[in-house]
Amino acid sequence: MTTVKIAPSILTADFGRLADEVRAAELGGADMLHLDVMDGRFVPNITFGAVVVDALRKVTRLPFDLHLMCVEPERLIEQYADTADTINVHIEVSPHINRTLDAIRRLGKRAGVCINPGTSISAIEESIPAVDQVMVMTINPGWGGQQMIPEQLDKVARIRRLLDEAGSPADLMIDGGVKTGNIASCVHAGANVLVCGSSVYNDQRSVAENIADLRRAVRA
């Protein structure tokens, strides 16, 4: 059985105590940390940049999964060469996507391509041999705490078939609205990495309890 990885997103964490929130994810058994860098142009929100990511690198050993929700991502990737483990860029703003993916790999990082809900799978099909990860947005990107668009799970299943037919070892990640009530369906559709924001960072339970609940829901 494929190992399912939980990637807490700090987008819904308490930014006033961000270092503590990151440590809580590591102590709670997270597999990696998902970092959303937003520029206010590709998406309406603005989050943080390389200075914050550099600071967080000092407080955890978790792998960093960097999500560049930015225009011209190729101009930014070198800023994260010393901190990120995987760098994900959006096909919607990457007209020369294979060149960008190659640049990420030349920095010694895993290269990921992201696809929005309204974007056809055909946009990424030719780039499958060049990716280490495909990220399917199951919400419209820009804000945390949104509800998953359930129809996107069919897209996940189709991308899983595409990866399998190509013999690709790439991870298949879902980002957006993953909760205990739908995480098993995400895995059933073919995802093996789940970005979890408000289902990990919330006022109802601790980070460790929420991660444990998500893992139990996968096995249910």
**pLDDT per residue as tens, the chain (220 positions):** 469 999 999 999 999 999 999 999 999 999 999 999 999 999 999 999 999 999 999 999 999 999 999 999 999 999 999 999 999 999 999 999 999 999 999 999 999 999 999 999 999 999 999 999 999 999 998 777 789 999 999 999 999 999 999 999 999 999 999 999 999 999 999 999 999 999 999 999 999 999 999 999 998 7
φ, ψ dihedrals at 113, nearest 5°: -115, 135
CA neighbor of 67 nearest in space, from 132, 9, 149:
9
Beta strand spans in 62-132 (E): 64-69, 86-90, 110-115
Residue with tokens 């709670």: 28
Catalytic, out of 85, 164, 175, 203: 175
The encoded tokens of residue 61 equal 């050993």
pTM (2 d.p.): 0.96
Largest separation between any pair of C-alpha atoms in the chain:
45
Catalytic residue list contains 36? yes
> Domain 5-208, what fold?
TIM Barrel (3.20.20)
Catalytic, out of 36, 39, 65, 171: 36
What whole-number distance in Å separates Cα of residue 24 and Cα of residue 78? Answer: 28
Name the residue type at position 74. E
User: Residue 184 half-sphere exposure, CB side, CA atoms within 13 Å?
Assistant: 8
